[in-house]
Structure 1
Amino acid sequence: MSDFDYDVVVVGSGAGGAMAAYTLTKEGKKVLMLEAGRDYDPVKETPMFNTPAQAPLVGAPTPDKDFGYYDATVDGGWTVPGEPYTAGEGTEFKWWRARMLGGRTNHWGRYALRFSEHDFKGYSRDGLGADWPFEYKDIAPWYDKTEELVGVCGTNTGLDDMPDSPEGVLQPPPKPRIPELLVAAAAKKLGIPAAPMHRAVLTRPKDNRSACFYATECGRGCSIGAAFQTTTSLIPMAKATGNLKIITDAMAKTVEVDEQGVVNAITYIDKNTAQPVTLPAKVVILAASACESARILLNSKSEQFPQGLANSSGQVGRNIMDSTGADFSAEIPALKGRPIYNEDGHTANHLFIPWWGHKAQAKGELDFARGYHLELKTGFQAPGSYYPAKLQGYGPELKKQAKHDYGAQVGFSLRGEMVPNKDCFMEIDEKVKDKWGIPVARFHWKWSEQELNQVEHGLKTIRAILNNMGVEVDSMPSPEEAIKKGGEIIHEVGSTRMGSSPEDSVTNQYGQTWDCNNLFVMDAGVFASNPHKNCTLTIMTLAMRNASWLSEQLDKGAI
């Protein structure tokens, strides 16, 4: 690396790593980025127009393609060959690894909802979990900058769960679909509002990225850059400064320290040669994903840090949270037989149901402390290989029946906030190593009554909405049956929690570890709680804010 005298090493190229690199390089700092996966170019590699019929198994999910043949994740998933993880007794946990340049931003849902004032001070409100060491007003200006840079469509709603953006920041949202309007009307009868979903999808051109023209699912990646991913935005923009160098296939193993406990190097495995490489480092930013960054810290044991690097609090690997999840769908009689037309839109829901129960929780009227939202799956979506079993016969009569029922299905997906608990954590399994010789993570997981009660409330709400839409629901699954496994929503956060004290947290509010002032964490590991909203917008917002602060500290010579 003698040709590139870097100031900062960033581990990871997803939401946090790419935003940190972009921010630092724009400030004139030289950044070396390590990415565990291969190089990836969505402009060349995204199958924008291929149909399910052109794919093996009609594009159906397989163990090596969890979300189907066309999903953008090229070498990762819940199972990565040669890179296992283990689970404690009685635990079911699914750990997603992206293993590609751009990380999970290549296939995420692009839901981009701000956390609200309720979300940052949960402990102060109900005594559960932990507060964030700042308030919404402190982060709001950085949300403004991130939304403007990324490109988010939506509208200001005035709802207390959806903080407003400044005038002109949000791009116009797509129009609601007919089924979504029907759901909104049914929910309104219950006093529950629906609202346009905020998504990191361009509805107007921006920079050198085109507006969405409703081609295929955003999970495939986006060759025109309309659906946000770092590989078509932050990484190319950082490269354009001349201050970014990327090493792919670099599996970070440990962060090294000197005799004084100051970070001075990082060791990674070159996956092409299977050999370790140690590089000097003045400053290290871990943004490898919450659990991967925690794994690196726990594996970075030394005489100075026998329990793992930056772990004097004992909190590295603790406080892991994922979003709760539960799905339910039904056929709506009023939607059958309607005229068929193009109802594609930007492939995800245009309307959704944000959390409406803060006042009820404040009054103690609910038996769970944190909220959820309901995402909708509706419309004339591209048919796949599945058809309802009730379809009978063949030929014209079968086609007529299928056409009559097409587009009548409405799906609800609950996504809720989890309260951290002592049973949900990760540690290092010293008996198992991955193919690169690195000890693997072992997970422990258990949903609490908080989450089960929340899901039960959500299922009852879905049932009531469906009743208002003319659907008689005979039975609903129990919360234990309905709730998704830990890690299944792929929103795991909290493993290197930020806080106000080194006694019970790993980093300060800027992601700087209490134990090493030149070591930072800038992924979702620093989250003090896990609000029901997708975490990616807040990961990027924190990374922009914290990398800006780091740049100032470097200019001052404080680090």
Structure 2
Amino acid sequence: MGFEIIEREEAYDVLIVGSGAGGGMAVKTLSDAGLRVALIEAGPDYDPADPEQQTQLKWPYQSPRRGAGTVRDIGEFTASLGGWKIEGEPYTNTKDTEFRWYRSRMIGGRTNHWGRISLRFGPDDFRRRSIDGLGDDWPITYDDVKPFYDRVDKMIGVFGTREGIYNEPDGFFLPPPKPRLHELLVQKAAARINIPVIPARLSVLTRPISKSRGVCFYCNQCNRGCSVYGDFSSSSVLIKPARKSGHVDVYTNAMVREVLTNAEGLATGVLYIDKTDLQEYRVRARVVVLAASACESARILLNSRSARFPNGVANSSGMVGRYLHDSTGAVRSAFIPQLMDRKRYNEDGVGGMHAYIPWWLDNKKLGFARGYHVELGGGMTMPMYGFGFGIQALNGKYPDKNGQQKPAGGYGLSWKEDVKRFYGATVSFAGRGESIALESNYCKIDPATVDKWGIPVLQFHYQWTDQELKQARHMHDTFEELIHQMGGVPNGEKPGESEQYGLAKPGAIIHEVGTTRMGNDPSRSVLNKYNQAHDCRNLFVVDGGPFVSQADKNPTWTILALSLRAAEYMIDQFRKKNL
């Protein structure tokens, strides 16, 4: 940048880059142990209970734009400061790639607005290569992680039920909310074709677990950030109490450029650019922990070049950025005549599904290797005209109260009639599945592009394979059969091969993992089984980067468990004077 580097005076025991699930858990665990911690976050501070930042319980008309659009990519009041595109912070794709990268620049990161779906990986999810010969097994097993899953359940809180499904492990559950009407209809239809529908597992408090957090009051707005801290966000559940310890200093609006190392190859701290004064700062620490998200942590490592690490810190294997993979995704909705003309009542519930479909089939009998779960949508949340009415499913006409056909839509009385008849009559199905981790899917530094801070940006290369396409086709076949069993009318045509069976673009599900994967072989992995860099013993990565494979579950609960495990390993190594 051309500025003199300013030295921060204090040196820390641990410096953590990123404040999402992995970074938050590391901050809380390490500061509880009495270690001095610096937390560096690329965005501003955030507290969903702060009146200046709170968006929960606001009406649409309270938007300063009054319906003229939104400045937030996934909802006007969503607790996300960032998006698919951030001004001055580009990324690029190779010519045959359409990777999408969502970044949330704020304390707590993407945990402020995620779906709170809190699923453990199962025993089979750590040994997929042994089962189907694709990808690699993890260097750890479910039994290694189970004690940490248990502690995360109790520390943070998750509702659900004990179902005894082998690869959908049970945990320590709070009582789940009752299913909504559309979920009961899905459950009834699914039972006829032997598809299980069980209570969802979300990190939302339905019972008190601590004096510092309130209980969910069912406003259905978890994505806005909970002002009573009734759901899990790293910002409110992990970082807020850690800051009260007096052992944590937080640096916000701090864009990390690189990890610094010494002649012995040990990490000594980081360089970052303060977005408010545009100065470059150096912060020193005995241990550096990256938790900036799988791709951002890879970017930092790849940009951390020196004579000892010409290809980036911890990258002697050349694996940093490799094996990038995201969950698969496909969606379908339908109009359900049984749900027309509904009595109006509050069906909001938690900010997410009350029931879901776990993977229920044996892949050995199918034409693809990995499974998926199905997330259910519907109900009587706040409507917008043209959404949730199912009008398009009936080709623009529907029977009125006298059984006569009339054109749908219009203004005034006609519009009101549409709302009364169709509101709440739509259900949706979203498949979320496991893709195969491949070395050929990667992110790397684009040598021709820098961001507004002068830091080289990432370029992505990613292609789906037949495995993912066949899985998406199976998702849609499942959706069609469920809709048929419910007596519904699908919205639109089922996507075909030319449309990749409706498979979402890579990165679109925002579950990207694998760029700094763990393994026992330093020539084929970046980290060991404790999230510690093979090449640099005082460098750790605790976001989604260490994942060897994704599983058909959302990654957050596993990020939390592995970060807790890694942080306690660090504490042990500090005591043994190995760090």
Check whether TM > 0.5. Answer: yes
Instruction: Measure how far apart 1:205 and its partner are.
Output: 2.2
1:26 to 32, 40, 45: 32
Give 1:179's aligned residue. 182
The alpha-carbon deviation at position 481 of structure 1 amounts to 4.9
1:330-364, Cα deviation, whole Å (9 max, x unpaired):
0011111232211111031101111001xx22xx2
Distance 1:194 1:271 in 2: 47
Q: Is the 8 A contact 1:265 1:282 kept in 2?
A: yes
CA contact (8 A) 1:58 1:384 kept: no
Aligned equivalents of 1:124, 1:99: Cα separation in 2: 38
The residue correspondences of 1:174-323 to structure 2 (distance < 5 A) are 174-207=177-210, 208-323=212-327
Structure 1: runs of 5 or more not aligned? none
- Matched with 2:455 is 438
Contact 2:437 2:548 in 1 (8 A): no
2:371 & 2:502 partners in 1: Cα distance? 17
Shift of 1:58: 5.7
Cα distance in 2 for residues equivalent to 1:317 and 1:477 = 32
User: Displacement of 1:423 after TM fit?
Assistant: 3.4
Match for residue 462 of structure 1?
A: 479
Equivalent residue, structure 2, for 1:55 = 63
> Which consecutive aligned stretches of 4+ in structure 1 deviate over 4 angstroms post-superposition?
1-5, 56-62
Q: What's the secondary structure of 2:532's corresponding residue?
A: coil
CA distance in 2, matches of 1:252, 1:19: 20
Change (3 A) 1:139 1:272: same
Q: Where do residues 84-483 of structure 1 align in structure 2 (5 Å cutoff)?
A: 84-165=90-171, 169-207=172-210, 208-357=212-361, 360-361=362-363, 364-387=364-387, 388=391, 390=396, 391-471=408-488, 473=490, 475-478=493-496, 480-483=500-503
Q: Find the aligned partners of 2:460 and 2:67 in 1 and give their Cα distance.
A: 31
Equivalences for residues 544-559 of structure 1 within 5 A? 544-559=564-579
Cα RMSD of the aligned pairs, angstroms, is 1.6
Aligned mate of 2:74, from 59, 67, 70: 67
Q: Cα deviations across residues 455-503 of structure 1 (Å, max 9, x unaligned)?
A: 0001001101111111255841125151111111110000000011101
Matched, 1:495 2:515: yes
Q: CA contact under 8 A between 2:220 and 2:352: conserved in structure 1? A: no
Tell me the SS of whatever aligns to 1:180. Answer: helix
Alignment check: 8 A CA contact 1:421 1:448 kept: no
1:57 deviates by 5.9
Query: Which whole-Å deviations, capped at 9, do the CAs of 1:233-262 have from their partners, x for residues lacking one?
Result: 111111122111111111111111111211
1:414-448 Cα deviation digits (max 9, x unpaired): 11111012431010011111011100000011111
SS where residue 304 of structure 1 aligns?
coil
Q: Partners of 2:8 and 2:91 in 1: how far apart?
A: 36
* The 10-residue stretch of structure 1 (450-459 or 420-429) with the greater mean CA deviation from structure 2: 420-429
Shift of 1:47: 1.6
Distance (Å, rounded) in 2 between the aligned partners of 1:502 and 1:159: 35
- Label 1:4 to 1:239 Cα distance change in 2 as closer, same or farther (>3 A): farther
Deviation of the 1:82 alpha carbon:
0.5
Deviations 1:111-156 (CA, angstroms, capped at 9, x unpaired) = 0011101111111111111111111111111001001111111111
**1:531 alignment counterpart:** 551
Once residues 276 and 131 of structure 1 are traced to their aligned partners in structure 2, the CA distance between those partners, rounded to angstroms, is 41
For structure 2, the 5+ residue unaligned runs are 1-6, 397-407
Structure 1 CA distance for aligned equivalents of residues 505 and 244 of structure 2: 41
| Cα distance, 1:332–1:123 mapped onto 2, change above 3 Å | same
Indicate if the aligned counterparts of 1:52 and 1:384 stay in contact, CA closer than 8 A: no
Equivalent-residue separation in structure 1 for 2:455 and 2:469 (angstroms):
36
CA displacement at 1:206 relative to structure 2 = 2.7
- Separation in 2 of the partners of 1:530 and 1:241? 34
Kindly provide the CA deviation profile for residues 513-558 of structure 1, in whole angstroms up to 9, marking residues without a partner as x.
0000000001100000011211111111110111001100001101
- 526 and 238 in structure 1: CA distance in 2 versus 1, 3 angstrom threshold: same
Cα separation, partners in 2 of 1:2 and 1:269, compared to 1, 3 Å: closer
Paired letter, 1:303: A
Letter in 1 for 2:151: K
Q: Distance in 1 between matches of 2:93 and 2:62?
A: 38
Q: AA paired with 2:74?
A: F
- Answer whether contact 1:428 1:440 (CA < 8 A) is retained: yes
Aligned position for 2:403? none
Contact 2:286 2:538 in 1 (8 A): yes
Deviation at 1:160, TM superposition (A): 2.5
SS class of match (1:282):
strand
TM-score, length basis structure 2: 0.92
Between stretches 179-188 and 338-347, larger displacement belongs to: 338-347
Alignment match, 2:4:
none
CA contact 1:498–1:505 (8 Å) conserved in 2: yes
Q: How many residues align?
A: 550
Contact 2:56 2:77 in 1 (8 A): no
Residue 404 of structure 2: aligned partner = none
Task: Between 304-313 and 270-279, report the one with greater CA deviation.
Answer: 270-279
Contact 1:71 1:220 in 2 (8 A): yes
Q: State the SS of the aligned residue for 2:286.
A: coil
Offset of residue 393 of structure 1: 4.0
Percent identity over the alignment?
A: 47
